A and B are shown apart, each in its own frame.
Chain A
Amino acid sequence: MSTNNFVHKQHAHCESGVTANLLTHHGLPISEPLAFGIGAGLFFAHIPFVKVSGTPGTTFRTWPGAIFKRVAERLEVKVHTEKFSNPQKANAALDMALEAGKPVGMLSSVFYLPYLPEAFRFHFNAHNLIAYGKENGLYNISDPILEDVATIDPEDLAKARFAKGTPEPKGFMYYINDIPKSVDFNKAIKAGIKQTCFFMLSPPLPWFGNKAIGLLAKKIKGYPTKLTPRKASLYLGNIIRMQEEIGTGGAGFRYLYAAFLQEASEMMKRDDLAQFSTELTKIGDDWRNFAYYAARQMKNRSGDIVSYDELSDLLNVCGTKEKDLFQRMQKIKW
C-alpha cells in the first residue's frame, strides 16, 4: 500500500518540513518558512539546571508538536492526532491510515532511525518524519532533513516511536483529514508573528525568550572560572550544535524566520516585513559569527578569560539587536 503521488521535499527543519510536505500533499501548497512562521517556531531558551546529556539545556525553537498544531489551527485544517499505549496498536493504526491513503506524520527518536548516519544519532526524541507507504514489509519514509526518501523496518520504527526519556513520543502520530476551501494566510501570518513577539519578549522568567540570550551570555562569561576547560568546551560545543547542527537552516532558525518574513512581506505586500527580514538576516550572521568564535575557543581549550568575555559580548550583540527588532515588530499596525 502506498499513498498516491506523495512528493518528498527536503527541508531544513523536521517539524516545519513535515508540516509543509503534508499540507502540500493535501492540496494546500505551503513553503517551509511559511509553516515555520505561522507555527511561531522561533524561540530561545537556556535552562542551566536542566542538563541534557550532561550539558545545560539550550534551544532555539519552540516545544515539539507546537508548529504543526498551530499551523493546523491557524489555517483551519482538520487533523487527527493520536498517542498509543503500545507499539502493536501504534503500528496497526499507522497501517490503517496508510491503507486509507493518508501520509502520516510521527514523532520519533533519532537514536533508533538506522537510515540516519551514526554521527547524528543521539537520544533526541522529538524528531518528526512521515510514513507514506508500506512495501515488502518496510515503511516508506519521507524524512524532511534528508535529500531522498528512506525505508525503515517496522520493529525499528516502533522502537523510535516508543523511545523513553524526555519527551516520550508514545507513538504520537498525526495526519490531515480535511483542508478548508479557502485559507486566510494573512490572518495566520499575523497571528504567528504576534505569538513569536510575545514569546520572545514577554516571559517573566530569565530562562525563556530574549532574556535567556543575556542569561547565556552571562553564564559564558563565568565558564573559565567556574568550569574545567573540558566542561567549558563541551558546554560551548553543545550551544553550537543546537544552533547549527542539522535542522535549523543556519543561525539557530534565524535565517529560516527571515525567509518567512520575506515571503510574508510579498504575500501581504508589506515593506516593513521585508525590512525586518533583512535585519534578521544580519542578526543571523551575528549568530554565525558567535558560533565561529565559539568553535575556535572550544578547540583551543585554553580557558582564556579574555576570549570567553569576547564570546559573551558577541552573544549579547545578538540578544540586544533581536530585542529591539521584536519590540518594533510587536508594534506593527496591521
Chain B
Amino acid sequence: MSGSFDFQYPWMLLLLPLALLPFFPVRRDVLAFAWLNLLPEDRLGRAMGFLWRLIGAAAIAAIVLALAGPGHPETQQLRVGRGAEILVLMDRSRSMDERMMPSDWRTLDPTVRLYHLSRGPQKARVARDVLAKFVAQRPNDRFSLMFFSTRPLNVVPFTQHDATIQAAITAGEVGRGIGDTDVGRAMLAAIDSFAPRTYSGSRIILLVSDGGTHLDDRTRERIREGLRRQRIALYWIYLRSYNAPSLDSDDPKLEAIGEVALHRFFKTLDTPYRNYQADSPEDIAQAVADVGRQQNLPLDYYERIPREDYSKHFLLAAALACVVLLGFRLMLLRSWE
C-alpha cells in the first residue's frame, strides 16, 4: 500500500513537454559583442547557463505536476477492532403506526390510560430515536439494516459507515407502515445474511418490533438451529402497545398473545437472548452496555484512509525554483552600458 502514487487529473500531464522550453535556443538574455573569440573561455558560465535552464524546466514541470493533482490514493487498511456485527431488524408493519403509552403512563390511573394514548409517541418514531442513539453510541460496531413487514427488505448490507445506517433508520420512520408483521420470515432472512460471512466477532440481531406473531413449529426449529449454527445473540427492543401485557407474566393463558408467545419461545433458545423495553431509557442504556459487555472477539475491518494530496509540495518546489532563478538573475551582466 505504501509507495503508490496517482494523479487526479492525469490529462494535465500532457502539458509536461512545456518543461523542455527552457532548453530551446533563445535570442534573449544575450549581449551584443563584437567578436566572440575575444571572450575568455568561461566554464563556470556555461555550467551556470545549463543550470539555469534546468531549474527553469524544473519549475515548469513542478507546476504541471501540481496541477495534475498528485497524491497518495485512497486506501483501505485492514485493522483489528473490538466491535460487534449487529443486524438491525426493524419492524415496518402497519402496527408500528400506532402510538405507545406516554412516558408517564405508570403514574396514570389504569382506567384513564386510553385517553392519554394520543399523547404518546408513535412506535415507529420511538424505534427510530432508540436506534439512532444506539448506533451513535457504538461507533466501532459494524451494522446492517433490514426492514420487515410481510417480507424482509434488506436495505443496507454490513457497513462501517454510520451515516448510511442513520439514513436508513431515518427512512424507517417516513410514511406509514406496510403489511403485517411476519417476524418468523424476517428472522430467517436475518440469520441467512450472516451465513456467507466469515465469523469474525460477536454477532447480534437487534430486533425492533412490537412483536405479535405466532410462529409455527417448523419456523421455530429453523430459527433455533440457525441462531445456534451462526452463533448469533438475539436482542429484542420491545415496543409495548397499549394494553399489551408484560412479557414476563407467567400466566399460561397469555400464550395466545403473539408477543408473549414469541418472548417465551426466544427464552428457550440455546443462544443468548435479551429483552429490553423501548419506553424505558434505562433499558436502552442497558442494551448499549450489554453489547459492550459482549465477549467481543477481535473483529477485522477495513478502515478507509482518505486520499492524501501532494500538490502543495510541488507548488512549493516550483516556488523555490523561482527563488533560485531570481538569484541567478542577480549575478548576470545585463547590458554593456
Answer yes or no: do A and B interact.
Answer: no
